[in-house]
Amino acid sequence: MRSSQHRLKQKRQALWIKILDIPHEREKLAEEYKIHRKRSEIQEFLPKVISDSIEVDVARSFNHMKDVTSQTLNNILKAYATVNKDNLDYCQGMNFIAGFLYMAMGQSEELAFAVMKEVISRFSMQELFNTSLPMLKLNFYQLDRLIAIILPDLHAHFKDESINSSYFSAPYFITLFTSTLQMQTDMQNSETLLRLWDYFIVHGWKAIFKVSLAILREFEEALLDMPFEVLLTQIVNLPGKFFLKDFVDEASERAQVQRFDQAYAGVRLPNMLLERLKQEFDKNYEVSKRTRSGSSDEGTKEKKPLIQSIFGMGYKQFPNK
């Protein structure tokens, strides 16, 4: 992470592949991708309901990104759906990650596939993408508690307006902020998003929490003046404002990335704090599960609103602070 910005841009693809321990032999990567592409054409490996779900999401993804076609996204996502089909096939949000990685990996489907496969495995995203999204509930809890600890004034305002992180932060975790590219035509103004991924690949989920807090800190003053209705409409747009900048030249791009690095470094987040918050959540969640265990259909009620609203109003049935 100490390389110059220009050098990092030139070597980012190779660095990500090396850090993620992905084989360097392109022939092996291409062959593995080819195998899964073939499997995706067989219903035994890719049920029609999953294939249809992917196609529906792809149809509304990256509609303005000229170099990311629907066919490309379908290829990558359907191939991945055959990798670990017993535990994870497809979940809304993976479409944005696939498109982002395709562009970040030099428009190579096999590299995008390889990186996505390793990222999901290495950072246990199968738990995030699981049908009941158990990891997302943990993420919401941790982020709410971190806001209370690090941004207490904003936390108090959110509490007064009856807002918690589930109302706005699902795309942070589900798409790793790649949904900010939805309306973009190219990746020209996305260097800070790529920079976040540099940190994420090295530091994991801690990077996502730090950036989430950095975004809220940057816009805190404005947020403190917003009532409930305005908050709901404005807060979902903050990641795009934070990451996507129009750079006049390389100097302005370099300056913006340096500001991002400073904002990132300015959020102090010890690993032990995240672990302590996880332990809090696990304890509270078990109590909550036992309390609700009397109703046999509670599980169904719990899953449906979460899946339907991960990019909307959010999920509210998680442990109270």
Q: Which fold has domain 124-321?
A: Cyclin A; domain 1 (1.10.472)
Sign of torsion over alpha carbons 155, 158, 160, 166: negative
| DSSP secondary structure of 54-115 | HHHHHHTSSTT-TT--HHHHHHHHHHHTTTBTTTB---TTHHHHHHHHHHHTTS-HHHHHHH
Question: DSSP 3-state assignment of 305?
Answer: helix
**Greatest alpha-carbon span in the chain:** 62
Minimal CA–CA distance to 137: which of 181, 104, 174?
174
Mind listing the pLDDT tens digit of every residue in the chain (321 residues)? 444 555 666 699 999 999 999 988 889 999 999 999 999 999 889 999 999 999 999 998 898 898 999 999 999 999 999 997 766 778 888 999 999 999 999 999 999 999 999 999 999 998 887 767 789 999 999 999 999 999 999 999 999 999 999 999 999 999 999 999 998 988 888 999 999 999 999 999 999 999 999 999 999 999 999 999 999 999 999 999 999 888 778 888 889 999 999 999 999 999 999 999 999 999 887 777 777 666 545 444 443 334 334 444 333 333 333
**pTM for the whole thing?**
0.87
- Residue 62 backbone phi and psi in degrees, to 5: 50, 40
- CATH architecture of structural domain 1-122: Orthogonal Bundle (1.10)
- Domain segments of the chain: what residues? 1-122, 124-321
Minimal CA–CA distance to 79: which of 20, 30, 134, 35?
35
